[in-house]
Amino acid sequence: MINIKSIFEESISVKKLCLQQGLECISIMGDEACISIQNGGKIMLCGNGGSAADAQHLAAEMLVRLRPMNNREGVAAIALAQDISTITACGNDFGFDKLYERMVTSLGKKGDCLIGITTSGNSVNIIRALEQCREMQIPTVVFTGMDGGNVKNSANYCIVAPGNLVSTVQELHIILAHALCECVERELFQ
């Protein structure tokens, strides 16, 4: 039988470590997203597996709203992993590693913002998207975990969830995503 209490304790411990390392980066990330929106840009989000679901979750919070009492306009946001036909066509024709790079090239423009989510920090398709964004002068934000992986060297802004368990890192990514959305809502609509 697993020790359920230890799962909770690990989650709490990682959240405390994140608080200790500081969260100023979330405000900076929120400012970057707001600048994109105020200048007619959009927020593109990407991830793989559970992180793709987190990207969709954050896009929905931006498009609809985070708080029920905040009847606001939608924020232009798109999760890049929501079209199975495009995902499988690109994977088949060019390889999965090129998926987000190709989507950024096709859908992105200067003035947009990209948020990448990767628990390992080593997702090649996200690294390639970040590099493509750099070429197109699109600011990038990344949520990662473990030791930050290779994405921390490719993004403009990076916040590392200091855990070693994928589940714990993903929990923290949702808290960070909600905090980022809160920053955007407060800046743009209050």
User: pLDDT tens-digit profile of 139-169?
Assistant: 999 999 988 999 989 999 999 988 888 999 9
User: pTM of the entire structure?
Assistant: 0.92
Contact call for residues 155 and 26 (beta carbons, < 8 A) = no
**For residue 73, what is the DSSP state?**
P
If we measure between CA atoms, which residue out of 132, 146, 129 comes closest to residue 55?
129
Highest averaged pLDDT of the listed ranges 40-44, 162-166, 182-186: 40-44
Over residues 63-67, the mean pLDDT reads 86
pLDDT bracket for residue 186 (50, 70, 90): confident
pLDDT for 1: 61
Residue type, 92: N
Q: Which of 65-79, 115-129, 163-177 has the highest mean pLDDT?
A: 115-129
Q: What is the pLDDT of residue 169?
A: 92
Average pLDDT of the residues in 94-102: 96
- Whether the Cβ atoms of residue 73 and residue 81 lie closer than 8 Å to each other: no
First to last CA, the chain: 49
What pLDDT score does 163 carry? 83
Q: What fold, for 4-189? A: Rossmann fold (3.40.50)
Say if residues 127 and 140 touch (Cβ distance below 8 Å).
no
Closest CA to 133 of 25, 32, 50, 26: 32
- Residue 167: φ, ψ to 5°: -60, -40
Q: Among residues 141, 131, 79, which one has the least CA distance to residue 105? A: 131
For residue 145, list its beta bridge partners.
161
- Pair type for strands 43-47 and 140-145: unpaired
Q: Give the HSE-up count for residue 151: Cα atoms under 13 Å, Cβ half-sphere.
A: 33
Give the residue-averaged pLDDT of 98-111.
96
| C-alpha count within 13 angstroms, C-beta hemisphere, residue 28 | 12
